[in-house]
Amino acid sequence: MAATRNILRGLVSTSLVAVCVLAAAPAAQAGKRTTTTRSTQSTTPGTAGDSNSSTTTISSTSSTTSAGSPSPSSTCGSQVHEQPFSRWGDTKDYVLAPGGTFEAGTSGWLLSKAAIVGENESYFVHKAGESKSLSIQPGGSAISAPICLEADYPTFRFFARSTGAAGGDLKVEVLFAGAGGTSTYPAGTVTPSSGWKPSPVMATVFNRFCDKMGGTASIQLRFTPQGPSGWLIDDVYVDPHRRN
């Protein structure tokens, strides 16, 4: 019996490692190359528009693994750390998700009945003077560009407000590609509000599989209006917990 239990433990451990490595392919774009990096860190003052913020720039050099051969990398590369939610008592460092401000378009995002509009979240936490957000109509959805995670990137947040008819939450899900295909995990919901507000803290979920295994992986976030209300989202951030 002891020998059988040891074999089963080994199989479970092997399966989790496989999930961690294979999930390096984005949920909607499996097989893309991954990046291996070495990083150094320096700290600079906060950006305009958030007097309470500070930013940390992580610079890196990188090498790549060819497409079709996903493997974990040491870090997620060059990143700027901010504190966009400090005025709401959340002083953790966050990293902007790819395309998370929508100022430069929606490259890498998958949109259905969704488009950029000329309205920024009202707090301008990322940068003063920004002017765009993403509008998602009832019956539509938006899937983010792939977001690089290290094993201890536990949470994410963003800004949102509802539009149009009253009622209907915004459902948020985490997608990742594993050995058995794309898996979907509920992350949380945002309740309707006519004014901009930060989302609740939501779990990336994926770090549960890669905890203590090292390496990186990619997830994607799906935003789906429920009921008759449309939604605007803006400034999508991920929390790199290890550096807080």
Higher pLDDT, 201 or 56: 201
Higher pLDDT, 156 or 214: 156
Best CATH choice for the domain 2-243 from the list 3.40.50.300, 2.60.120.260, 3.40.1280.10, 3.40.630.30: 2.60.120.260
Answer yes or no: is pLDDT of 173 > 80: yes
Residue identified by tokens 């594993």 is: 178
Q: What is the pTM of this model?
A: 0.70
CB 113 within 8 A of CB 137: yes
Element of type H or E holding 111? strand 110-117
Q: How many CA atoms lie within 13 A of 230 on its CB side?
A: 13
Sign of the Cα torsion 58, 61, 66, 69 reads: negative
Mean per-residue pLDDT, 131-144: 98
Distance CA 143, CA 110 (A): 5
Pull the structure tokens for residue 50: 């958030």
User: What tens digit of pLDDT does each residue of 5-41 get?
Assistant: 444 444 333 333 333 443 333 333 333 333 333 333 3
